[in-house]
Every structure is written in C-alpha cells, then in structure tokens.
C-alpha cells in the first residue's frame, strides 16, 4: 500500500517548515509537535517523518525530547533524521523511540560509519537520505552540493544493502509546485527493488495520485498539509 508519511520538522521544539531548506525562510505552524502527531494518528496515519533541524545544523541530535514525547504518546512509526552523526546519536535516537533513522550528510561525509550502522541495525531500520539538486546529491542541510550523481550514489548503497531511500528534490521543497516525478520514475525504473520515498513539492491530491501511480513505496508530505492544500480527510478517503 502506498504510504502517506507526514513530516514534522523541529526548530527550538516548534513544528516548522522551511522553504528549500533555508533556515531564514522558517514558518512556525505549531508550538506543540505532539498535538500535530496525535492529529495525524487520529486520521489513520501510521508513519511519521520527524526531522531535527537544529540537530542538522548542530551536527548532533538536539530535539530528542520531542522524539521521546511523540514516541511515548503515539503508536506512530517514526523515522528520525537530523544530526545523527555518531554512534551515541543513533543509540540515543533508537532508545528515545525512533523505529528508523535517516542518514543524509553522513552517507557522504562518513560512509564507513553509516555502513556500520546498516550492518548493525539492519536495512529495515536504516534509511538512505538521497537529497538532490539537479540530480546531484546535496548535503549539510542542503547548503552544499557534493557533485555526486544521485543514481550512482543510490546504486552504490543498494550494493551495500540499503532497502529504503528518501529522496528530496531540493529545488522543489516547500514551494508547493509539484514533486519531481521524473526523478522518482527514473529511480524506480533503475532500482525496482528499492523502497523509494518521495519528498518535496507535493501541493495537491493530484500530486499524490501521480506519485502513487509510479508504484513507489510512499511520499513525505509537509507544507501541503499545513497549508491546507490537501486534507487528512481527503488522504484518508483515498489511501486508507
């Protein structure tokens, strides 16, 4: 079943959204992330993408209390990212209730460590973050382009055992101008056994329909929900 995975992005304990990963383009939607998480769960949502934006900037988990609070007060399956840069960080995230960890910058900057986590925790628990700008991997909160072709990058990690990837087209993120269907179409065609999770640009139910038609694993939806472009009721009627 095509998975609709809402995103909660955290800065200073608040639920926010950025535009194209730009911290100066921050909008606070709610000061109580648990309230939002419970709203998702009540609507029939099973999975949550929780991002510690302070952690991404600080290069260590910063908003662990938010993770703990949501994990202990809901049954949502949380995939957590942002600032997971060390063995201590990943242990803390799992101990605090994360079911999966998404590695982004670390997959480029310290691939040996990330590969070690993949071997230790297994490919159900570790998600590859393959965020791209112009089909090149973007790292460090999308502030740096690595120059690595996204398809080569993904192929390399599949060979090491990766099963899930979240791929955000940075150029689309937060703009509500539609997702990068071509990117996901190519990824699905090249790597049919990979569980591809699309992210960035969703602005309507039609976008969700278009992504579902690609037979990918799921999609992360953020601003479209918070801005009322798609409602949880509509999502529930179509996908649950």
Catalytic sites, residue numbers? 9, 131
Is-contact 132 138, C-beta < 8 A? yes
In terms of DSSP bridges, do strands 144-149 and 164-168 run parallel, antiparallel, or are they unpaired?
Answer: unpaired
Q: Residue 91, Cα to own-chain centre: how many angstroms?
A: 19
Concatenate the DSSP letters of all residues of 154-198 into one string: HHHHHHTT--EEEEEBTTTTTS-S---HHHHHHHHHH-TTSEEEE
CA distance 135 to 14: 31
């Amino acid at each position: 079943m095509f998975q609709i995975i809402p995103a909660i992005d955290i800065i200073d304990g608040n639920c926010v959204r950025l535009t194209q990963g730009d911290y100066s383009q921050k909008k606070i939607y709610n000061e109580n992330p648990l309230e939002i998480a419970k709203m998702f769960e009540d609507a029939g949502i099973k999975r949550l993408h929780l991002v510690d934006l302070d952690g991404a900037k600080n290069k260590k988990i910063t908003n662990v209390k938010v993770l703990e609070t949501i994990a202990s007060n809901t049954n949502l399956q949380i995939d957590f990212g942002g600032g997971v840069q060390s063995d201590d960080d990943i242990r803390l995230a799992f101990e605090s209730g994360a079911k999966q960890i998404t590695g982004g910058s670390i997959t480029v900057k310290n691939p040996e460590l990330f590969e070690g986590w993949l071997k230790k925790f297994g490919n159900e628990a570790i998600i590859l973050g393959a965020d791209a700008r112009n089909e090149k991997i973007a790292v460090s909160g999308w502030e740096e382009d690595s120059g690595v072709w996204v398809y080569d990058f993904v192929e390399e990690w599949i060979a090491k055992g990766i099963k899930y990837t979240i791929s955000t087209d940075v150029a689309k993120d937060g703009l509500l101008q539609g997702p990068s269907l071509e990117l996901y179409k190519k990824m699905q065609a090249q790597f049919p056994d990979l569980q591809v999770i699309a992210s960035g640009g969703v602005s309507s139910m039609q976008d969700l329909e278009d992504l579902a038609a690609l037979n990918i694993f799921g999609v992360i939806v953020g601003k479209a929900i918070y801005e009322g472009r798609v409602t949880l009721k509509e999502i529930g009627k179509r996908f649950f």
